[in-house]
Structure 1
Amino acid sequence: METKTALSQTVEDLRQKCETLEQQNAELAQKLKWFEEQFRLSRKRQFGASSEKAKDSEQLTLSLFNEAESESDPSASEPTVETITYKRKKNQGQRQKKLENLPVETIDYYLPKEVQSCSCCGGTLHEMTTEIREELKVIPAEVKVVKHVRHVYACRHCDRTGTQTPIITAQAPKPVQPKSLASPSAVAYTMCQKYLDAQPLYRQEQQFKRLGVALSRQTLANWILYGAKQWLSLIYERMKAHLMKQDILHADETTLQVLREPGRSTTSKSYLWLYRTGRQGPAIILYEYRTTRAAKHPAKFLEDFNGYLQVDGYAGYQQIKNVTLVGCWAHARRKFSEAISALPESAKNATSIAKEGLRFCNRLFKIERDLKIAHASDDERYQTRLSQSQPIVEAFSAWLQKQAPRVLPKSALGLAIKYCRAQWDKLKTFLQDGRLELDNNRAERSIKPFVIGRKNWQFSNTPRGATASAIVYSIIETAKENELIPFKYLTYLFEQLPNLEKQTEEALDELLPWSDSIPSECKLPTSE
């Protein structure tokens, strides 16, 4: 009897041990699957296409060293060089249109008078036609000294007979920076080189040296800091005032390293916040430097704003008062795209849950593309979304609820489903107003120039420099959105701002990028 009882206990112990081992095996299998997914996603981020659109794999391997060889195509025709003999009317093609907005320098070549005689009969030659060859002439940067000479006048009669002599000095424009070599064009050029073309100051220092002038990077930095704080900040504040009057905005943020922040290590992460208008109203793009990603920063910046705010999934935006948050379907779609990328190669061609989720998102984007092609009005977009997009959104919601308990929560697919469910109230907000957009790509596109520039200059030295960078980026990117030439617009600002009699709101508004008062030479040429 005792032997039978002991045997029974041994069997029960073995059964429990087997169940424990099976559970542990299942947990280890899940962890292994998760690590494999992360490995595949890591490989895709490192070597795959940077966007959701497919790209030529050869394009991704181009470097600065082989770009000329890779891009060269001897069989391709030159876009601008051609010889024209005016014996017939020539239709203007795409190549010629590329030249129509450029200034033209004409050089005429005539036969000398002594050879303008016929080699056959000796008669005088007349001009029959012309042949024209066009080519591009590049004028590199040139540095020159401009002397502003103010002539001073006095009265000779008073000088001889009077007790005092009136002295009058001719007027001259005020300098952009007193007691400095900085001119409006020099400061504008330095800013555009750094913030538009991503040229660090040490490279600009070398460029100026090659042009024959020794300007240290410290001098160039001083020009940027002074110009941003003293003058461009005035335009920045007026743009912010106009931004707060809008009722639809986009927001985003990215990291920034600032070396000398009080009380923080040099490796601490700071942030550059982006706020911009949507498709309505004047195009305004503003950046703001802050030390952290805390929710108090956007809440403070947007304290005077009341309306729709389109954002990504960052929870900090939920603490902003008086706003209705609008989610980003591009982020939702990206999560399912990553879930597909995390699948092993053997499963990528098979039907999967991740592909079903991606199809829901793609159907919504297809509707938006059709609306854009049709140039739909805001009301037409609203009505179409109610009739076509809303049923897809409702079906997707039911699908998410059905799939949530069936997938591993920490898997790439589980995270995609979790993201959509957590963001659902924001994701469906786009149905409320035809002016709203399906995604926050407008903000992501606007923050991309800073991200690209950061790869070159990598960090800001001080909080003062980071603030100046945010201001300059704001002016340049807003100018680009309003189809201005940033260099010419900045030069114009540095000419006008120091010479304003009164810095009133009305006077400053005349200088904003979308103002009708901006000179035509600051605007991008447009083809008629």
Structure 2
Amino acid sequence: MEKEIETKDKEIDDLKKELAFLKGQILNKNRRIFGQSSEQVDSRQLSLFNDAEKNSDLKIDEPSIEEITYTRKKSSSHLGKKDNLSGLDRVTIEHKLDESETFCDKCGNDLVIIGKKSKEILKYKPAELYIEEHISYTYACKNCEADADKTNIISAKMPNTFLYKSMASNELLAHVVSMKYQYAMPLYRMESYFKMMDVNLSRQTLSNWIISCASEL
């Protein structure tokens, strides 16, 4: 019985040593795979998923509106011939001679158009932000007001936005969230991105929008 116990104890001891060795192997492998890289990384880029929470300040006010503008882009039904460009709007610019130039410098007779050639240029226009002001008018029935104690009042409906108390449009919110999580753009860089468009949107405002979107979703 004592011999059998000694044998079992030795087997257990050997298994413990083997288990400790295997654990060490796994830990070393994990350190190589998941350990801190020797490459220097900007610390601001490491907080991709807590960037919004870190910069959020729900006490600050929404950005104020200083100037109201409205622009509309006219759509085009033209379908291009190139792959992946068929949905783009097309602007045609014709280059013609001035009336003072449409005569032959040799005989003086008028010049006539005998043909034309075309060149397509893929143009880039930076994104733009503008204020869209919605004014809802309220109507009342003066006849009901004269004949009854209660006036019939009706207000025109305004479009709903995802964040009711925010001035951010649904399109802008989608753009901010997409840049943050699809394209991994930190908020400090997004702040600079909007500054290049002459719009001051602080990291706190952007953070509040992202967190509010997450809460709504």
What TM-score range do you get, normalising by the shorter chain?
A: 0.5 to 0.7
Q: Residue in 1 aligned with 2:199?
A: 213
Structure 1 unpaired stretches of 5+: 1-33, 47-91, 232-528
Share of identical aligned residues, percent? 36
2:138 to 152, 159, 162: 152
Offset from partner CA, 1:265-294 (integer Å, 9 cap, x none): xxxxxxxxxxxxxxxxxxxxxxxxxxxxxx
Offset from partner CA, 1:294-321 (integer Å, 9 cap, x none): xxxxxxxxxxxxxxxxxxxxxxxxxxxx
Distance 1:162 1:97, change over 3 A: same
- In 2, Cα distance between the equivalents of 1:188 and 1:169? 29
2:119 to 114, 119, 133: 133
- In 2, Cα distance between the equivalents of 1:97 and 1:178? 40
TM-score, normalised with respect to structure 1: 0.25
Q: Match for 2:105: what amino acid? A: S
Question: Structure 1 residue 174: deviation in Å?
Answer: 1.2
- In 1, Cα distance between the equivalents of 2:107 and 2:84? 45
- In 2, Cα distance between the equivalents of 1:191 and 1:111? 50
Q: Residue in 1 aligned with 2:100?
A: 114
Q: Match for 1:212: what amino acid? A: D
- In 2, Cα distance between the equivalents of 1:218 and 1:194? 14
Question: Structure 1 residue 160: deviation in Å?
Answer: 4.9
Structure 2 unpaired stretches of 5+: 1-24, 38-80
- In 2, Cα distance between the equivalents of 1:99 and 1:213? 30
1:189 to 171, 175, 182: 175
- In 2, Cα distance between the equivalents of 1:117 and 1:155? 69
Question: Structure 1 residue 198: deviation in Å?
Answer: 1.3
> What is the alpha-carbon root mean square deviation over aligned residues?
2.8
TM-score, normalised with respect to structure 2: 0.56
Higher RCO structure, 1 or 2 (CA under 8 Å, sep 6+): 2
- In 1, Cα distance between the equivalents of 2:150 and 2:83? 66
- In 2, Cα distance between the equivalents of 1:216 and 1:100? 37
- In 2, Cα distance between the equivalents of 1:185 and 1:172? 16
Mapping of 1:89-104 within 5 angstroms? 96-97=82-83, 99-104=85-90
Task: Identify the structure with the greater strand proportion.
Answer: 1
- In 1, Cα distance between the equivalents of 2:166 and 2:180? 20
Question: Structure 1 residue 136: deviation in Å?
Answer: 2.3
Mapping of 1:249-264 within 5 angstroms? none
1:176 to 153, 157, 162: 162
Specify the structure having the higher radius of gyration (Cα).
2
Q: Secondary structure at the match of 1:132?
A: coil
The aligned length equals 142
Distance 1:163 1:101, change over 3 A: closer
- In 2, Cα distance between the equivalents of 1:169 and 1:221? 34
Q: Secondary structure at the match of 1:133?
A: coil
Question: Structure 1 residue 161: deviation in Å?
Answer: 5.3
- In 2, Cα distance between the equivalents of 1:101 and 1:158? 52
Q: Residue in 2 aligned with 1:460?
A: none
Q: Match for 2:102: what amino acid? A: Q
Offset from partner CA, 1:52-93 (integer Å, 9 cap, x none): xxxxxxxxxxxxxxxxxxxxxxxxxxxxxxxxxxxxxxxx8x
Q: Residue in 2 aligned with 1:393?
A: none
Distance 1:204 1:152, change over 3 A: same
Question: Structure 1 residue 99: deviation in Å?
Answer: 4.0
Q: Secondary structure at the match of 2:118?
A: strand
- In 2, Cα distance between the equivalents of 1:110 and 1:159? 65
Distance 1:130 1:99, change over 3 A: farther
Distance 1:99 1:175, change over 3 A: closer
Question: Structure 1 residue 192: deviation in Å?
Answer: 1.3
Question: Structure 1 residue 213: deviation in Å?
Answer: 2.4
Distance 1:161 1:112, change over 3 A: farther
Q: Residue in 2 aligned with 1:226?
A: 212
